[in-house]
Structures are given as structure tokens and as C-alpha cells.
Structure 1
């Protein structure tokens, strides 16, 4: 009986679309979640902005296609999970008052130093309205409230767990060496069907020679780097070694403050790295670290329990994907 009603819903949904002119793309169903559907336009709203960023990254065609394929599947999975959560919100009659949405919007404007006019203009540039943004904000608050009710409220982190974590991660609280890093990134691309890595590598060597000849690294980054950090002279910020990729970790460990690396061929592209500064942070006693550890353990437990909760929802739901 349930399956029959689902198939009837699918038929009604498909027939409800007006016939479009030849050459126009018909919207279609890409997933059914219990008695509700997710359409191709729902998916594309998430997917298309991501495709633009990937296509501007200069990946080889086969890698680009693989990344986009995986992203599309993952985004559909996210939409399915959102739909399941929204159905739970409805079933449990969770509500958000208009003033709560207004207060959250006001806090977002304060945190980001936006006026309402600036926010409206920014949304308009991306093809959205303030009303749409408020609707999304309401949905986010509702989902957060659901997670709080179903997951967070059932988690207790004990003093023993906090002490045990502190003992097992002593090196983390003894004080860490932090490295202030700058980087110049040259993206590797395919042009006319040819890999341009060698050309980027030669360009990198030329830039490194100019820096060693006296050109300030910051000026070189602003002129040549293709990373967002170029505007800040290639400044990536402060990192502990365990926060870096294996390649950068090895490189940074071998540099003294003020030195630059050789030209590197990394997964991000061709890179030149400069170690600006190196400092050791003071250690933390158990009492000083206690709240930080509690938050870390709590969040990791929330993430784990949330996945388990979603898995349980999936197992009891009717889900069919049609990509």
C-alpha cells in the first residue's frame, strides 16, 4: 500500500509539469524520500556553484570529471539527509518563532559587520533574495534544534573522560611549536590537451630566482601567486606541524625563519614556501585545558552519534535515488 502511494505520488508529480518547448531541460525527480521528492533543480542549486569553482581550478579533464561525479553523489546524499531531518522536524512538531529568525539574522549582520542593505546586495549578486535567506536560516535553526533534542541532550562527558584524554595527549598541552608560513602557488593546468605542469615549474624556478635576488617574497606573492592568499602577500597564517600536509611538514621543518623552500610540485600546484617565524606556545595545565577538552570530546561525540542517528533514520525510511 505504501509503495503504491509512492508510485502514485511520482506519477502525479511528473504529470504536474507543463509541457516545455523542444530543447528545454525538463525538471525531473532524482530521489524519493518516504512520500516526498527531491528534484534535479534542487540538486543543481547546490551543485552548479561548486562546478564553477572546480572548473576554474585547472584539473586534468579525467580528474575534474571524477571530482564532479563524486560531488554530485555526495550533494544528493546531503539533500536526502536534510529531507529526513525535515520530516522528523514535522513529525515532532518543532517550531521556530519569527523573532528567533530575526534575532539570528541580526547576529549574523553584527558578526560580519553587514548592514541589511549590504546583505541584500550580496544576496542579489548570487541570485537570491532576503526572504529566501530567512527561509534557509529558519531551516538551519530547526535542524539544529532537532539535533539538540535527538543527539546533544543525550550526551554526557564525564570528568574521568576528560582526565583520560589529557593524559593521553600530553604532548598537545606541553606547548607546541607554531610556524608562520607564506606561500606562492602556481596552478597546473591543461591547455590545448597538453599538461602545463612543466611550464608552471619553470615559472616557479624563475620566481624563486627573483626572490633570492632580492625581490621581497610578499611582493612576489602579490604579483605571481594564484592563491586567494596572494592579496595578503601569500600569508597562510600559523600552523603546528601536525596541521600541515606531509610534504609541507617536511619542507617547513627544514627551514629557518626567513628562508624559502625549493620549488615544490604538490597536489595543489607548484609552490614556493617561506617560513616567516617560529614560536613555541606555553603549555596548559589540566585545569586550563579542561573546558577545551570537554568541548572537543563533546563535539566528536555529537558527530559520531549524529551519524548513527541518521543511519537509523535511513534504515526505517523508503529512499530511492535516480541519478
Structure 2
């Protein structure tokens, strides 16, 4: 299982967690325990959509997947406890940084918070350890793989940036003047930036690093000169003029073989497996009994 597969597992878990929140919010009750499923959650002219209709549709579309995700989470943790498998905070942090550096999923303010991401990463790594707990790979093989794939275990310097993009140099100068007078960078981005997607997020474009093709090379070159919370002078880009702000920076790191040895072992062991990485293979052992088939439907 490579980075893309791991990322798909984590992204899938996170998507289902979002759906879970929406699903159970819909099952709320009013003051004193009174059911509020007849409450209108939307109106279209004189027609309304009740909470119960919304709930029914959520259950119809996502109910099985949400329930399966919740079961998988408990199965993973139960089996990890049974086999005394643990994932260190250092491993979670390292995987988080590697994913952060190699995926564009961390490019919006409205993404789930860091704690939630790390919980999903920990569960994913626990599952990998469970699936490969009986696989033995020699140190020679591990060393060989590491030497050939060192770049997989290097985190570049990562910059968290916001930007304001305007069409003309004159507009950029006016924006700089307003910033100097104390105006909020995020408020100006929402008001003036022609990049509507990031403007809606107060100009936040998330994390970028060297080689990121989403933004001009001048973004990184300029970012390297900025201190935290400082903003740049306007500079020319294809769409006009940009001003960037340094929200934060994460230093680069090259992980040694000993630091990532367990990770390399999981990688090689999972590549040898012919079955998909799924917690479903532990359902019988965990004695799962569920609404959609009592252990008969696990896909």
C-alpha cells in the first residue's frame, strides 16, 4: 500500500465521519426529550422538508457506510488492544507531516482540525499493523527498500500561506496601504481578491512547498523571505498581482532508516498482500453483529 492508498483510506474515513456527524445531528431531540423530527430543516415556497425526511434520506444513502465505518473503528481498536499493538505519537506525527507535504487535501481552512486527522491516521496505522502482524521481512530487504525510496521519507519545508490577488499594480498598492493602516488581511482578501475560491476562506491557500504546481514559483521564492504573520510586497503573476502572507512554516526533515523502519516494514508487507486493507477481515474474530446482515455483509 503506497501513499495514495493510505491517503484514500484516511480520506474515506474522514468523509464518513462528516456524514456521521450530520446523520446523528438529524436524530436530535427538543427540550425535555421531545422529538423534533417534524421540524422543518428547509422550506421551498410553501413546502417544507422535515428533519425526518432528511434523516430518512441520509440513512438510505449513507446509513450502511456510516455504521460500517463506526464498526470498523471499534474493531480496529479492540483488535489492537487484544494483540497489544500500539502506534506512537511520533509515528502519527511523521505520517501526518508526510501526507501534509504530498497531498493538496490540506489546502483549506475548513478542513477537519489536526487532532481529527491524526486520530484517523492512528486508526489507519493500527489497521496496517494488524493486517501485517505475522509478516516477517528481513532487515536487508527493509534497508534495500529504504535506500531506493529515500525520497518517500523526506518532508520538504512547508509554507502555510494566504494571498490576495488583484488585477492591477494600482489595486495592489491600495491593498498594501490598507494593510499598513491595520486592515485585516483575511477581510481584504474576501473583499478584493479575484481568486474567489481562496477569497471565501479569507485568502487561505493552505500548505505549499517547492515544486507545487498549483502556484507560481515566485510564491515559494517570496515565502522564503517572510517571517511568520508578515506579508509580502506585491509581485507580478499571470493573473495580475499577488500579495502573500506567511501564516506558518514547518521545517523540512529527512527521516533516517531507524526512524521509519516500522513504516517500511508495513509498506512491504502490505504490498505482498492480495486482499484489500480492510478491518472487515477481523469482524468474525471481534464477534460483530450488525443491522445490515449480522456479519454476512461486510463490503
State whether TM-score is above 0.5: no
The TM-score with structure 1 as length reference comes to 0.36
The TM-score with structure 2 as length reference comes to 0.39
